[in-house]
Structure 1
Amino acid sequence: MTTALQPPLPSHPVLRLRLAPQGGTPRRIDGAWWPRSYDLLAELPRLLAGLPRAWGNISSATVNGPMWSMPPGRMLVANQVVRLHRSLTAPAPHTIVLLAPGRGRWDLLVVPPDTTVEAAEPLMAAAAGVPA
């Protein structure tokens, strides 16, 4: 009798992030992020760890919408203090705005966590400006 070994599950889920290509004209949306929940304490460290180094140290994150669980006004991520904000009146309700002093601002479309793969992929591709 033989036993088939299952491959180990990843200890950290794969970051679901698609960014627009660098350069060119300025964009209103710089890409898309598909978190697994609306728990900002759990999701934000994974997002920040997966961003390009060129974006620098993110010091502020503003999420839009009442669905996000909001911890106190700041959190420590990889030895960096990140100030947290929530906006309920933003022009783009499903976004996260990331700021890095001296580097810039990036606006990402947030695909709701309960979105199916079939629906999420075209949204992410369109936000990144690439074919699905």
Structure 2
Amino acid sequence: MSATTDHPRLRAVPLGAPTARLALKPVNPSPGRVEPDGAWWPRSRDLTHELPALAAVLDPLWGRITRIAVNPRYWPVIPPRIYVNGHVVKVGWFTTELDPHKLLLLSYGTGRSDLLVIPPGTGAESAARLMAAASDPDGPPLTASALIAADEARHGVSVSEESLDPDEAWEYEAGASAVSAAVPEQPGPPSRLSRLTVGK
């Protein structure tokens, strides 16, 4: 009697990209505002990798994202375009017209939206405070850089612009997320007007 063992062929299964770490104000932008509409905490300075995850989250919330602009001060490479949910998003940059800690997005649903960009190396507690401040609809009308400066002055913690050491990089890029522990639990059911998305 002969025995045959049929093993199924191995196939690669792509890992899902991590969800964008994001906090948003209620959708009710006021014209002429200078303050951000929320905050984004990317895991790295690689826009080619980071922007598709961000736009994929914002597409269903704000309508199709069509353009993104950044200040190139903290971004080593700015791709001319990214592909999100089957469409092209053009990416550009401005040096003097755009706060270096802000990201500008254009979409079909909300028009122009601005996000505070929290530097990737920022500690979880500082990032949680900045995300809460940037997404507070009743907060003071501060620019992105002014929000970061106010948090640094109030708490004496400098928001890092440096790269993470290997242990921190594991914690924030591949390991357990410290953000969910740092962001306080919201009492009651989630509000239709207020949204907070925290990725791992």
Cα shift at 1:20:
0.4
Deviation per CA, 1:69-108: give whole Å up to 9, x if none.
212x222222111111112213522111000246411100
User: How many pairs align?
Assistant: 122
Q: Matched residue of 2:52: which SS?
A: helix
Task: For 1:70, give the aligned amino acid.
Answer: I
Q: How far off is 1:58 after superposition?
A: 0.8
Residue 22 (structure 1) aligned to one of 24, 27, 44: 27
Alpha-carbon distance in structure 1 between the residues aligned to 2:59 and 2:136: 17
Q: Structure 1 unaligned runs (5+)?
A: 1-9
The counterpart of 1:127, out of the listed 134, 157, 173, is 134
Structure 1 match to 2:116: 109
Deviates more, 1:51-60 or 1:76-85: 51-60
User: Which 5+ residue runs of structure 2 have no aligned equivalent?
Assistant: 1-14, 140-183, 185-200
**How much has 1:127 moved relative to structure 2?**
0.4
Asked if the contact 2:62–2:109 (Cα under 8 Å) also holds between the matched residues in 1, the reply is no
TM-score where L is the length of structure 2: 0.54
Which structure would you say has the larger Rg? 2
Matched, 1:37 2:50: no
* Distance (whole Å) between structure 2 residues aligned to residue 56 and residue 24 of structure 1: 14
Indicate the RMSD between aligned Cα atoms, in angstroms.
2.3
Shift of 1:50: 1.2
Aligned pairs for 1:1-132 within 5 A:
11-23=16-28, 25=30, 27=33, 28-51=35-58, 53-68=60-75, 69-71=77-79, 73-101=80-108, 103-129=110-136
Q: Counterpart of 1:53 in structure 2: which amino acid? A: P
How high is the sequence identity, in percent, across the aligned residues?
Answer: 46
In 1: Cα distance, 2:28 partner to 2:109 partner:
17
- Give the equivalent residue in structure 1 for 2:150: none
Q: Is the 8 A contact 1:31 1:124 kept in 2?
A: yes
Instruction: Tell whether the 8 Å contact from 2:52 to 2:82 is kept in structure 1 after alignment.
Output: no
Check conservation: 2:64, 2:109, Cα contact below 8 A.
no
Structure 1 position 14, deviation (Å):
3.6
User: Aligned letter for 1:118?
Assistant: E
Q: Is the 8 A contact 1:65 1:94 kept in 2?
A: no
Q: What is the TM-score when the length of structure 1 is the normalising length? A: 0.80
